[in-house]
Amino acid sequence: MKKRVAILGSTGSIGTQTLEIISSNSDLFEVEVITAHNNVALFAQQIHKYQPNVAVITNTNKYDELLRLTANCDTKIYCGIQAVCDVVQMDTVNIVVTAMVGYAGLDPTISAIKAKKTIALANKETLVVAGDIITKLAIENKTHILPVDSEHSAIFQCLVGEVNNPIEKIILTASGGPFRNFTADQLQKVTKAQALNHPNWDMGSKITIDSATMMNKGFEAIEAKWLFDLKPEQIDIVVHPQSIVHSLVQFQDSSIKAQLGLPDMRMPIIYALAFPNRIKTNFERFDFMKYPNLEFHKPDTKVFRCIDLAYQAMHKGGNIPCIMNAANEIAVEEFLNEKIPFFKIPELIETAMNNLSFILKPSLDDYCQTDLETRKYVKSLIK
């Protein structure tokens, strides 16, 4: 029986690759729902090509344009974020790929979990912001959360068959981004074009900047805490420029398991879609002879301060990770709009974390209010 898939954020990097995988494995998967925010032209092309049952454009201002571009399609077209929350609950959906960027993915993920849908999680901000709520909901609803991030997929794969063996620690690998050898002084002169030029991965602009600041790795540490029920001291980060070892798990007998492969996001996507099975692919195979030297280095958290900020947020807990995420989203947006320099990103995040109200045990409404207040506050700091 085919798995019917809802893809939240189908025009992004993860979304487009997920559609390609489904198209190449049409005997196993079927596109049921796709959603997008702004890219109406590509979204309309996807509707024509994949003919989903339902499509949702979250930017209501783009709704009429999408209707015109898809006038001869049978796909049902809706708009708004509430429509996304509604369609993920449909009986015809088996698995939800959450590939929306940033905080916007939180409410639809909650709706999908409450509807007992399997979640293929590519939106790390959902767990960064509200990991306590998401994990409790998943347990209550007996819902599986399958990680799509390459690092968390690697850890998950290493843990298959190890259910009774406690984790001593995990090691998240980081490419280091385009500036891994830069000094703090060199980061003062970074341009937008340089920051968007990732050496290993082809990703959307927001996550590419997060990789350049290494905030992405800080987010992944927090995500790992919730996914694998870990303490901050059980999570290490190492810089691995080749991006071949995707992450590692160390057990109490001192043995370490690692998952390796070429840097290709299609692998963790297809693993999550097909789990617990592995299906045959035509992806390029890894050849050790082409990589005679695999390097590992300690990250410089004095230069890449976002890692340290993420660990501070993880230790303090409460709504601090939510503040950190919202501040980062605004700072990255303003950098991409060339209104602030690159080095200002961690400065704005730290200022927000130090000055906004701390809530130890926030409710979902508290998270929503914190997110709004943080965005307003950070924007007020940018002249």
Look up tokens 């209707």; give the residue: 67
Mark the ranges of the chain whose per-residue pLDDT is less than 50.
none
- Across the beta sheet with 245-251, what order do the strands follow? 235-239, 167-174, 245-251, 256-260
Q: Which two tokens stand for residue 134?
A: 């998401």
Asked whether 286 and 329 are in contact (CB, 8 A), the reply is no
Asked whether 142 and 236 are in contact (CB, 8 A), the reply is no
- The class (CATH top level) of 3-147 is alpha beta
**CA atoms within 13 A of residue 146's CA, in its CB half-sphere:** 19
Q: What is the pLDDT of residues 226-239, one digit of tens each?
A: 999 999 999 999 99
Question: How much is the pLDDT for 281?
Answer: 95
Domain positions in the chain are 3-147, 152-263+300-316
Neighbouring residues of 206: CB distance < 8 A, sequence distance ≥ 6:
101, 102, 329, 332, 333, 336
Look up tokens 């299609």; give the residue: 266
Question: How much is the pLDDT for 172?
Answer: 98
pTM strictly above 0.85: yes
Question: How much is the pLDDT for 201?
Answer: 65
Q: What is the pLDDT of residues 242-295, one digit of tens each?
A: 999 999 999 999 999 999 999 999 999 999 999 999 999 999 999 999 999 999
C-beta atoms surrounding 88 within 10 Å:
28
Burial class (CB in 10 A: 0-12, 13-18, 19+), 124: buried
Four-residue CA torsion sign, 219, 221, 222, 224: positive
15 vs 74: CA distance, rounded Å: 21
298 vs 238: CA distance, rounded Å: 5
Neighbouring residues of 168: CB distance < 8 A, sequence distance ≥ 6:
234, 250, 251, 252, 254
